[in-house]
Structure 1
Amino acid sequence: MDLKVLKWQIRRGSLMRRLILKMLMFGAGLIVISFVQMGHEVQFSEPWMLNESECPLNFGHLSFNFTHLFGVLPVPCKENEVLAKNVFQELMVNSFLDSDVKALCVGEGSDAAVLALRELGFSDVSGVNRHPFFSLLKRRFVYELDFGDSSFDFVFSRALDRVSVPALLVLEIERVLRAGGTGAMLLGANGFTSGNLVRSATPVSSFLKSSDVVHVCPVGPYVLVLFKKRFQAVALFDQFKLPDHCPSVMNNNPFMPYIEPIGNKNPAKFDSKISYLPNLMNISSRNKLVYINVGAGELVDAAITKMFSAHYPIPQHALDVYVIDHNTTALSLYVKTPGITFVYDPKLAGEETASSSANYTDDYLGDDKDFDFVHWFNETVNDGEFVVLMMNARAAELQILDDLFRTGLICRVDELFLRCSDAAVWKPARCGDCTSLFKGLRNRGVFAHWLGE
Structure 2
Amino acid sequence: MEPAAGKPSFLRNIMARVLFFGVLIIVVRFAFIVTIAGESCNLRDFCFFTLPENLNFVIPGTAANMAVRTTTAGGVVPAGKDLYTSKDWIKAVQFYSSVFQDLIAEGYLSPGSKSLCVETPAGQEVQALKQIGVEDSIGIFKKASKPLVVSAKGNRVPFDDDTFDFVFSGGDRLDKAARPLDLLASDILRALKPEGFVVVHARAKDEYSFNSFLALFNSCKLVKSRDIEGYDSDMPYIKEIVLQKVAGAGGIVPVKESNVNSVVKCSIPGHKRKLVGNAEPLIMEEPSKPWITLKQNIKNVKYLPSMADISFKSRYVYVDVGARSYGSSIGSWFRKQYPKQNKTFEVYAIEADKTFHDEYRVKKGITLLPYAAWVRNETLAFEINGVPGKESEGTGRGMGRIRPVKSSSSAMSLSREVNEIQGFDFAEWLKSAVTEKDFVVMKMDVEGTEFDLIPRLFETGAICLVDEIFLECHYNRWQRCCPGQRSSKYEKTYGQCLELFTTLRESGVLVHQWF
Fold agreement, TM-score > 0.5 = no
TM-score by length of 2: 0.35
**Greater relative CO (CA pairs within 8 A, separation 6+):** 1
Which structure has greater helix proportion? 1
TM-score by length of 1: 0.39
